[in-house]
């Protein structure tokens, strides 16, 4: 069913609401995260202490992290280097290939991975296509790439439909 492919396993206000103990209990060892409007506002490059602390906590708790972003290598590498983690840029999500590459980089199996992102049609759909655990967050900022803004209107419709059917968690 199409709607099921667009449905996240978890729906959160932000990355800071992520329950790491719950993920661990599920056997999740690695997080494949989106960049723009998931970790940071689109177009912004100031890294706030809260984000650095979040990465520290993930590391302390033993999670591996890989950024998978459709954005350019120039932008993605700034964050990958800052947090010393692998990344896949120019990712063409929701294709499966960038997610497979992230699994390889992290050295984990699909059932050990969680996908974290702010978009249904790239992050959630891409993760679900590979059977990964998917976590949707509300976008950090209303500012976005113009192409994304069009997709958001359809996304709102999908989220409403999921909610109406009682499929949307949280």
Query: What is the rounded CA–CA span in Å between residue 27 and residue 48?
Result: 29
Under the binding rule (CB under 5 A), the answer on residue 144 touching Mg ion is no
Indicate which single residue of 8, 30, 31, 37 sits in contact with Mg ion (rule: CB under 5 A).
37
Contacts with 69 (C-beta within 8 Å, 6 or more apart), sequence order: 34, 35, 36, 75, 76, 87, 88, 89, 91
Point out which span in 34-42, 72-80, 105-113, 158-166 binds Mg ion (CB under 5 A).
34-42
**Closer CB to Mg ion, residue 108 or residue 122?**
122
Query: What is the rounded CA–CA span in Å between residue 137 and residue 2?
Result: 20
The least CB distance from residue 117 to Mg ion, in Å, is: 6
Point out which span in 8-16, 96-104, 110-118, 155-163 binds Mg ion (CB under 5 A).
110-118
Query: What is the rounded CA–CA span in Å between residue 94 and residue 104?
Result: 17
**Closer CB to Mg ion, residue 36 or residue 155?**
36
Indicate which single residue of 51, 118, 132, 133 sits in contact with Mg ion (rule: CB under 5 A).
118
Point out which span in 48-56, 104-112, 115-123, 150-158 binds Mg ion (CB under 5 A).
115-123
Indicate which single residue of 34, 71, 91, 124 sits in contact with Mg ion (rule: CB under 5 A).
34
Under the binding rule (CB under 5 A), the answer on residue 36 touching Mg ion is yes
Point out which span in 35-43, 54-62, 88-96, 130-138 binds Mg ion (CB under 5 A).
35-43
Q: What is the binding site for Mg ion (CB under 5 A)? A: 34, 36-38, 118
């Amino acid at each position: 069913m199409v709607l099921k492919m667009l449905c996240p396993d978890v729906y959160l206000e932000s990355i800071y609401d992520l329950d790491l103990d719950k993920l661990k209990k599920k056997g999740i060892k690695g997080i494949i995260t989106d960049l723009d409007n998931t970790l940071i506002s689109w177009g912004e490059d100031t890294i706030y202490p809260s984000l650095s602390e979040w990465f520290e906590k993930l590391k302390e708790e033993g999670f591996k992290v890989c950024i998978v972003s459709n954005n350019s290598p120039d932008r993605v590498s700034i964050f990958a280097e800052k947090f010393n983690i692998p990344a896949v840029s120019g990712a063409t999500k929701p294709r499966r290939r960038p997610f497979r590459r992230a699994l390889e980089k992290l050295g984990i199996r699909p059932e050990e991975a969680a996908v974290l992102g702010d978009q249904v049609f790239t992050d959630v759909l891409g993760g679900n296509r590979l059977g990964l655990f998917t976590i949707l967050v509300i976008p950090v900022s209303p500012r976005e790439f113009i192409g994304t803004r069009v997709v958001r209107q359809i996304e709102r419709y999908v989220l409403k439909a999921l909610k109406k059917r009682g499929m949307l968690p949280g």
